[in-house]
Amino acid sequence: MPRRSRSKSLVRSRKRKAGDLASQRLDDGDEVPLASETSGADKTRLGRASSSNPNALWPDCDAWRPKSMFDVYYRLTAVVPREEWPAFSDSLRRPLPITFRFTRDAADDFRAEGERVLSRWAAEGLGTRRLGLVEGWQLHMDKHQLREAVPGSDAASVREWLIRGTESGLLVRQEVASMLPAATLGVLPHHRVLDMCAAPGSKTTQLVERLDGGGGVVVANDFSALRCFTLVKRTASLGPRAASLVVTNHAAQKMPRPPAARGGGGGGGGASGFDRIVCDVPCTGDGTTRKHPEVFHRWEVALALRQHPLQLQIAMRGCALLEVGGLLCYSTCSLNPIENEAVVAALLHKCGGAVEVESGADAVAAELAGGCAPGMSTWPLLDFRLARHRDLASLRASADVPVREKRLYRASMWPPTAPSLAAQLRRCVRLLPHRSDSGGFFVALLRKVRELPAPPPRAPPR
């Protein structure tokens, strides 16, 4: 197929964003059918199915654009039970509620000023609730509703109180899902902690506050120098506590090992590793639609396929830097199992039993977010036409999948066949917007039980 000129591509992009493509002209009330619900006549109407693959019930991406592609993909992937889909889909399109946590510098009188109203709202059952695990609150309203509060009302007074607290560093506006990784790790004051992809810095400040001047250190890393500048600016509110913070600028998958702790043995032993690691990897961000609704317009199947190899490399490097007995929290703000459970399964396989999924993250998530779901142990792999493929060999053998598309797939993207790996994946945690009133989020708490196996020897150069 000849490549479109740049001018035509730009015009098509603008039309897609405005929803003016012919393929986007669906009524908002139209229900997009599941593959199993589609009759033969409907298949003809929706587009030409692949003659060699009976599961290819949906037309090419170019002909079926963003109003439906996101929804169809995740319905076919079964990220939520079928009966929960309407509530899940509706929650993805509602703004996030306001959430925040207090810093260690927040005085009792400042807290009491705002909590008088917040406690009354919670008692009235409006939906405001205390986040005791992180010393914070989740309100029953979003930022747009708070902005429109009538002057002199309780909501207006809370808005002014939040502004004063944010400007003075007494509270941090942070989404509930973003608070979860640090909350699950159980950081102690003496720990050496690594935040592998730290910017913009909300999780980093949370980690530093947990050290509380106990002699530990937080190493906050980011690949982008500009994002590192943002990180330093964000953590300036820590004041004297920032003495426990080191900001570095490295590619996370090549993060160097720190020097051995004082009194440690050096020599590459465990003493030069980290006790706790936050591995919040770059991702497609398709769980952030409540905060960034433009995700619906730019979403496509290929996004997760491109992220998967990098995510696995970063997670592997994190496990290499972790001390035996230490904990690593792998997390994304994505709904896609290719970026979540598939990465964890591949990581467990590559580590050869040296790393295990720890239980307990679900209890922390339930207390903090109010509800969660277990990880997925199986999922379908779909190509750009949303046709299923049972494994990499069947995809590569398909005549309907272009060669450049085949290059994006890896064997590690398919669900594991070993029952032991599938059981561990159920210990992972998914935050779903309709259950926890948060963004979509994934967390896997991993413990290193022994040193990683040595890599296989490289073949000598020819």
373 is in an annotated binding site: no
Q: Is cis: bond before 200, omega within 30 of 0?
A: yes
DSSP characters for 264-300?
S--TTSGGGSEEEEEEE-----TT-TTT-TTHHHH--
- Pairwise CA distance, residues 441 & 449, whole Å: 26
Annotation marks residue 351 as catalytic: no
- Pairwise CA distance, residues 376 & 398, whole Å: 26
Task: Specify the amino acid at residue 349.
Answer: H
| DSSP single-letter state for residue 36 | G
Residue 395 contacts residue 401 (beta carbons within 8 Å):
yes
Residue 369 contacts residue 22 (beta carbons within 8 Å):
no
132 is in an annotated binding site: no
182 is in an annotated binding site: no
Q: Where in 333-460 does DSSP place strands (E)? A: 355-357, 373-374, 429-431, 441-448
Residue 379 contacts residue 415 (beta carbons within 8 Å):
yes
- Pairwise CA distance, residues 372 & 286, whole Å: 17
Closest CA to 259 of 313, 321, 303, 316: 321
**DSSP SS3 for 412:** helix
203 is in an annotated binding site: yes
Region for residue 416 given its phi and psi (left: phi exceeds 0; alpha: psi -120 to 50; beta: otherwise): beta
If residue 157 lies in a helix (H) or strand (E), which one and from where to where?
Answer: helix 154-167
**DSSP SS3 for 232:** helix
Task: Using only the alpha carbons of the chain, give its radius of gyration.
Answer: 24
Reading the block at residue 101, the tokens are 């946590």
DSSP characters for 82-137?
GGGHHHHHHHHTSPPEEEEEE-TT--HHHHHHHHHHHHHHHHTTSS-EEETTTTEE
198 is in an annotated binding site: yes
7 is in an annotated binding site: no
Catalytic-role residue among 228, 283, 319, 333 = 333
197 is in an annotated binding site: yes
**DSSP SS3 for 182:** helix
Binding residues: 197-203, 222, 280
Known catalytic residues?
Answer: 333
Binding residues for S-adenosyl-L-methionine: 197-203, 222, 280
